Amino acid sequence: MRYRTIGADPATQRQVSVLSLGAMLFGTATDEATSYAILDRYVAAGGTFIDTSDNYAFWQNGGQGGESEELLGRWLRNRGGSAGLVIATKLGARPLAPGTSYVDNPEGLSAKVIRESAERSRERLGMDRLDLLYAHIEDRTVPLQETVAGFADLVAEGTVGLLGASNHRAWRVERARAIAAAAGLPGYEVLQYHRSYLPGRIDVPTELDPDGDVGWAGPDLVSYLRAEPRLSLVAYSPLLKGGYVRPERLGPGYDLPSAPARLAALREVAAQTGATVNQVVLAWLLGGDLPTIPLVGASSVAQLDESLAAVDLELTAEQRARLDAAH
């Protein structure tokens, strides 16, 4: 395993493995025994960076979520605590009532919600301090100043370490960070977005935003990250939920003119390296000029092992150029 630093402040920055493990479906679609086996294998391989959310996975049982955090809490107690690990969770998108969703009934990002939701996450995880806490989705009903101060209060109290944001417009991230900086408060240091080798369409309206998919690391966000190298990017769904292995799963969201050429280049490089197409995608992200931590899910130890092997896959300059040039 290899490692990198997230966070700019020496007082709060952490070393994490370059491959993060997503626990979204642990405790729901992935049963407890399998979840434990995946987590144990990840840690045995040197993995240290585990991701969850307070709303995972509400859509599996018509509830409000929390099952993933609860399972991680049981697993952490079973292993004797979270020493050596960095556990990231998110708040803001937990439905306020069972059977509703984060689109029409989210908890939001008020100071009150931030405090209460973070406390519940700590209880479910069995942790006195959350290593990394993200604002999961935007909340434009609450002034950014209130949200920024709400997160900063938890850092000052020692119940949260690093702060992050996911699924926000780049200008909203910058505005929140500017507010924090002007007030001498901690701001977002880790950004979690959807990024992969095959680009998706960001112009299609979504339930969250009529202006297009806010979850993708699009050109504005990538440009922002290049200008702010102290920020860290975590890329969720890098393997497109199996879409590289079964392209018929990709759907209209990936219907771009460049898709056939990029998929062909991917298969070509995979054949040259003897690796799987999924491993080439992860290696492309890991070794790119925009440092990225892929966040992978797994429903079996075998799936996790495939992703872990990508950490040691080094693409040549020619192979990377071939992948980058495909349009």
> For residue range 260-312, what is the model confidence (pLDDT) as tens digits?
999 999 999 999 999 999 999 999 999 999 999 999 999 999 999 999 999 99
The pLDDT of 317-326, averaged and rounded, is 97
Q: Higher model confidence: residue 250 or residue 51?
A: 51
Residue 267 lies in a domain: no
Q: Tell me whether the omega of the peptide bond preceding residue 57 falls within 30 degrees of 0, making it cis.
A: yes
Going by their DSSP bridges, the two strands 232-236 and 292-296 should be labelled as parallel
3-state secondary structure of 132: strand
CA distance 73 to 67: 10
Sequence-distant (6+) residues with CB within 8 A of 208 are 103, 137, 138, 167, 214, 215
Q: What span, in angstroms and rounded, lies between the C-alpha atoms of 292 and 273?
A: 21
User: For residue 106, what are the CA distances in angstroms to 88, 100, 191?
Assistant: 20, 9, 20
Is residue 323 a part of any domain in this protein? no
Would you say 35 and 74 are in contact if contact means Cβ atoms under 8 Å apart?
no
For 117-143, how does the pLDDT look when each residue is reduced to its tens digit (9 = 90+)? 999 999 999 999 999 999 999 999 999
- Residue 53 resides in a domain: yes
| Residue 46: band (very low, low, confident or very high) from pLDDT cuts 50, 70, 90 | very high
| Res 54: pLDDT | 98
Where residue 49 sits, what CATH number does that domain have? 3.20.20.100
For a pLDDT cut of 90, what percent of the chain falls above it?
91
pLDDT score, position 177? 98
- For residues 19 and 1, the answer to whether their CB atoms sit within 8 Å is yes
pLDDT number for residue 205:
86
Average per-residue pLDDT for the chain? 96
- pLDDT at position 29 over 90: yes
Q: Kindly state the tokens that stand for 151.
A: 């997160």
Residue 78 counted as domain residue: yes
In the structure, what pLDDT confidence band is assigned to residue 151 with cuts at 50, 70 and 90? very high
Alpha-carbon torsion 313, 318, 319, 320, what sign? positive
Give me 187's structure tokens: 């701001």
What length is written for the chain? Answer: 327
Percent of the chain with pLDDT over 70: 100
Q: Is residue 26 part of a domain?
A: yes
Amino acid at 8: A
**Full DSSP string of 2-13:** -EEEE-SSTTT-
pLDDT in tens, 197-238: 999 988 888 888 888 889 999 999 999 999 999 999 999 999
SS3 labels along 50-76 = EECCCCCCHHHHCCCCCHHHHHHHHHH
The mean-pLDDT minimum among 20-34, 130-144, 247-261 falls in 247-261
Residue 87 lies in a domain: yes
Q: How many angstroms separate the CA atoms of 155 and 209, rounded?
A: 30
- Continuous segment of H or E residues that includes residue 110: none
Q: How far is CA 255 from CA 131, 205, 284, in A?
A: 38, 15, 21
Domain residue limits at 100: 3-246+288-314
Q: pLDDT tier at 252 (50, 70, 90 boundaries)?
A: confident
Would you state the pLDDT for residue 5?
A: 97
pLDDT of amino acid 208: 82
| 28 lies in some domain | yes
In a domain, 227, yes or no: yes
Q: How many domains does the chain have?
A: 1
Under 8 Å CB-to-CB from 173, ≥6 apart: which residues? 165, 188, 191, 221, 224
Residue 212 has a pLDDT of 86
State mean pLDDT over 50-60: 97
Helix-strand-coil percent breakdown of the chain, rounded to 5?
40, 15, 40
